Chains A and B, each alone.
Chain A
Amino acid sequence: MPEVSTHKAARGLSEETVREISATKNEPEWMRNFRLKSYEIFRKKPLPSWGPDLSEIQFDDITYYLKATKDRSASWDELPSEIKETYDRIGVPEAEKRSLAGVSAQYESEVVYESIDRELRRQGVLFCDMDTAVRDYPDLVKRYFGTLIPPHDNTFASLNSAVWSGGSFVYVPRGVQVELPLQAYFRINSERFGQFERTLIIADEGSSVHYTEGCTAPIYSTDSLHAAVVEVFVAKGARVRYTTVQNWSNNIYNLVTKRARAEEDAVMEWVDCNIGSKVTMKYPSVYLTGKRAHGDMLSIAFAGKGQTQDAGAKMFHLAPHTTSRILSKSLSKDGGHASYRGLVHIGEQAKSARSSVTCDAMMFDSDSRSDTYPAIRIHRGDANVEHEASVEKIGEEKLFLLASRGLAREDAEALLVSGFIEPVSKEIPLEYSIELTRLIRYEMEKKIG
């Protein structure tokens, strides 16, 4: 088996690179062919003609090989001081800091993982990294992989389809309720926070599962392009919640395609927090293909200095009595640019569909920018679709009220921001939300240079 070393890796993408990735992973032929076909598609695809400026991405400069080790920064000293400071401010424990920085191997006891693993196996739940799933559960994977997001869907989906590595595979059998939220963090012996992760989640009839990924602590990566693909299948009567907290360092282009299909009586919930990265383009969507299916999206976006958060949601109503709800909260500060880009589509088969969208934006100064681009397409007369959006600055009157009660300005602002994002933040698991509150507070206190 050829040894892969980041120093020896060729830069740039070629058919040979794609073949080598597949060979290194020892993949079956069908996956290798899938990658090669996707690469051909990627070569012909242009960059999107809308949205943030992506012209600075150097595709030829990217290292597409697998990393043999997880080290993203060779030593603790190399880590940008900004990141170390943030770890301190949000209270990341000492051992965890080094693990996040990629300096040392994971620190948790293996015993913890083994007991979780045992419990899942007892229920018949499959949870492993995507590479393993391709090898161990080929029939299951083949049935779903690339069917919701085919390689030709968009440029970054085709790139991911060619060079994907890592990501999670989850299969929940019929009627099984997985009580413990599954975290990407639990996957041992696989790359964490990979550059081109590919995740596939299948919830069989009547099952339920909550999957979480990401980290409030900033993740530093020297790779400047991250293009993940996530496909979620929610069968009849099943329920899936997918929570992401993204805080990539400010040099990263984070261009993600996430899509779910919800069948009859199914519920799909996206909870999405975008705090980091230089540019994020992410529009999780739900295809409501069965009667009475429901799609839900709760999102928070924070755009600070030099950041562009271009995020939103898409809901496709393709069956009768389907419903959807989108709640988006964004904050922009110090020249940050936050945009909501969304779509609600009511198809001809979607009798009596209902949808409601609320986008609220808060701006902290006049250097920042906030945009809202919702699209509403209705192809039936009995649909009920509501949308409202507002953009405001932090309320001076409210600040004055709090000041008159003795709160310092920073505390008052933090309180108002907390209240602003509360409808979304209360849905995030406790461990994340405590850090999230501290993180946002810290971001707000930062002064420009």
Chain B
Amino acid sequence: MNRSLPLEFFFEKAEAGADIFALFLASGSESFSTKIHQIHRAPDTVSRLSVLSILGGSASFSYEGRIRIDKGAIRSNASQENRNVLLSNSARAQSNPTLEILEDDVVARHASATGGQNEEARFFLASRGLADSLAKRALAEGRIREFFGNIRSIAESESLDELETESMRLLETIFSENQ
């Protein structure tokens, strides 16, 4: 299975802005890739992208991001953040966030972190009596809750609850497969 999801956001008018969230949960031999472009063409525009992937089995994920701030888009503020949580040794991730900045009076950032979960956190939970598989699950659920929490802090929507439930269900699949 291979699903691609190219998305382009053009900020053409002054003070336009967007918060963009993408969540990918994959198990088995699923493979996802996404291309997300944030193109700033007007002053005082803002964009913030957050991409989270949680991968089990031998799933793979590829993220290609582009922030482009054209000349004239002064005082724009753009950021991309990609976090890939790998829950099995055969999971694979590729991350290519890029920045193309042609205006100086702007702020542009990106960050990408890929790995298994925080070892210290797992140890902490183990010291409280949680088996490792439960600890990993708890941490992954925490990431998903944090993700939806960030969305809710900007805008509420009924569909968010449904999406969160569905995400937890998909997480369940990943973990049951790993058994």
Contact = CB atoms under 8 A, between A and B. Distances in A.
Dominant SS among interface residues on chain B: strand
B87 interface: yes
A371 B98 contact: yes
B132 to A, nearest CB: 14
Contact of A377 (B94, B106, B110, B115): B94
Interface string A357-401: 000010111101111111111111111111111111100000000
A371 B72 CA distance: 17
Pairs A-B, 7 closest by C-beta atoms: A363-B104, A384-B115, A381-B86, A372-B99, A393-B104, A376-B95, A381-B89
Contacts of B106: 391-393
A367 to B, nearest CB: 8
B96 A389 contact: no
Contact of B107 (A364, A382, A392): A392
11 contacts: A364-B104, A366-B71, A371-B98, A372-B97, A372-B110, A378-B93, A381-B91, A383-B116, A388-B111, A389-B111, A392-B107
B93 A386 contact: no
Interface residues of B, number: 36
Contacts of B107: 390-392
Contacts of A375: 94-96
A297 to B, nearest CB: 17
Interface residues of A, number: 31
Contact of A366 (B89, B97, B103, B113): B103
A377 B100 CA distance: 21
Interface in B89-148: 89-116
A400 B23 CA distance: 42
Interface of B: 55, 71-72, 74, 84, 86-116
Dominant SS among interface residues on chain A: strand
Nearest to B55: A381
Nearest to A389: B110
A376 B71 contact: no
B53 to A, nearest CB: 11
A371 B100 contact: yes
A229 B106 CA distance: 37
A365 B114 contact: no
A382 B116 contact: yes
Contacts of A370: 99, 101
Interface in A146-193: none
A370 B93 CA distance: 26
B102 A366 contact: yes
Contacts of B71: 366
A365 B103 CA distance: 7
A56 B68 CA distance: 27
Nearest to B63: A376
Contacts of A390: 107-109
B104 A389 contact: no
Nearest to B88: A381
